[in-house]
Amino acid sequence: KHPQHKIWPYLLRNVVIDRPNQVWCADITYIPMAKGFVYLVAVIDWYSRRVLSWRLSNTMDTAFCIDALEEAIERNGAPEIFNTDQGSQFTSEDFTGILKSNDIAISMDGKRRWVDNVFVERLWRSVKYEEVYLHAYDDIRTAKKSLGHYFEFYNTQRKHQSLADQTPDRVYYEAVERMAA
């Protein structure tokens, strides 16, 4: 948390999430490697749990978060609400400026309220136990390639009990088609 950055209110209390691109969220986690670690940011759609974009970085700067956000918007349009924690990357004027310029409502978890962003926390558990802890990445290039394969699997093949045993891609794209019709 940066002491001079604005903290936005949590907007999702008692909100029914019933369509894709209604709410997106993002978070950062660390990925252990054979020597050291890297940081992983992911943007996901709350409704479908679909990973919309992700990036790796060897520093905790804001740029890799912005890259992931811009890719997600470019590929999927803008969500109505974007939820994050209060980390300095997400409270920075550079990051929030992109959200504001796309008319996206900004929501932030309460202090020490991981449960406010539980879907991305659940993603981290899956990524780490199903992919990361099974491999000792030697370098960032190897980590990027392996995580790319995992996220492709996660979106297109990994069925989720919370999605009635459907994949995130199926839930996302079927709902987008229904909304367009």
Structure confidence at residue 123 (pLDDT): 94
What is the distance between the alpha carbons of residues 134 and 77, in angstroms, rounded to a whole number? 34
Q: Give the Cα-Cα-Cα angle 39, 68, 82 (nearest 5 degrees).
A: 105
What pLDDT, in 10s, does the model give residues 29-69?
A: 999 999 899 999 999 999 999 999 999 999 999 999 999 99
pTM, two decimal places = 0.92
- CB contact set of 10 (below 8 Å; sequence gap of 6+): 83, 107, 108, 109, 110, 113, 116
- Express each pLDDT in 17-34 by its tens digit: 999 999 999 999 999 999
Residues 67-81: pLDDT tens digits?
999 999 999 999 999
Per-residue model confidence (pLDDT) at position 136: 85
In the chain, what percentage of residues exceed pLDDT 70? 93
Q: How confident is the model at residue 111 (pLDDT cuts 50, 70, 90)?
A: low
